[in-house]
Amino acid sequence: MAHLISPSILTADFSNLEKVIRMLNKSEADWIHIDVMDGVFVPNISFGFQVIKTIKKYSKKPLDVHLMIVEPDKYLSAFRDTGADILNVHYEACVHLHRTVSEIRNLGMKPAVTINPHTPVSVLKNILPYIDMVLIMTVNPGFGGQSFILESYRKIAELKNMIEEGAFNVMIEVDGGIDLKNAATLIQTGVDVLVAGNTVFSSRNPAETISRLKHIM
């Protein structure tokens, strides 16, 4: 399967969100990555339901929502109502992860589990049959524009093996510090979805950068 691109709008120009979404609609982006931060799970606050609803209003692409919040169970149906298609919850934020991902699926969204850089992929062994994607954080979550953590390559390779051995239908997404230099190695290591914030939105021509990321082999 060709890899997918999910541009993170965290570093986009919020003074004209409609223009950003129209650009993404026309681009080769597959999804739109939306980072929700609560100031508790991560040391930053981003945006909430109203902003996601506005994005949904204009978007022709699926919304890949990444929850960096504590107690995500309280808000699953609210995120469904904003128009989330894929809902990523952090392993570190969920005490009853199986219940959480089952509820996400029951609500009609695709469940995905995210792990922080310090969390080993081995903890995912018994949840893989129930989810559609694992999001491996390749920076500590909270901010755009950080440097990719090199140890992530080993984690991706290990997860890829686990998925193949179990013949699970689970995609691997990476998020943080993805650029035009490391994208090829990431894809070769087994990544299915690249999230890119700074690389896309700090470039002169975001649509062209998305295209370049999409055509990397």
Q: Which residues are catalytic?
A: 35, 175
- Residue whose CB is less far from Zn ion, 144 or 190: 144
Q: Does 100 bind ligand DX5 (CB under 6 A)?
A: no
Point out which span in 56-64, 147-155, 167-175, 206-214 binds Zn ion (CB under 5 A): 167-175
Positions 59 through 98 that interact with ligand DX5 (CB under 6 A): 66
* Residue 113 binds ligand DX5, judged by CB under 6 A: no
Contact with Zn ion (CB under 5 A) among 20, 30, 35, 63: 35
Yes or no: say if 133 and 172 are a contact pair by the CB < 8 Å rule.
yes
Q: Which does 194 bind (CB under 5 to 8 A by kind): ligand DX5, Zn ion, none?
A: none
- Could you say whether residue 66 binds Zn ion (CB under 5 A)? yes
Q: Encode 46-68: b = buried (16+ Cβ within 10 Å), e = exposed.
A: bbbeebbebbbeebebbbbbbbb
Identify how many contiguous H helices and E strands the chain contains and give both numbers.
8, 8
H or E element at residue 45: none
Contacts with ligand DX5 by CB under 6 A lie at 8, 10-11, 33, 35, 66, 139, 141-146, 175-178, 195-199
Contacts with Zn ion by CB under 5 A lie at 35, 66, 175
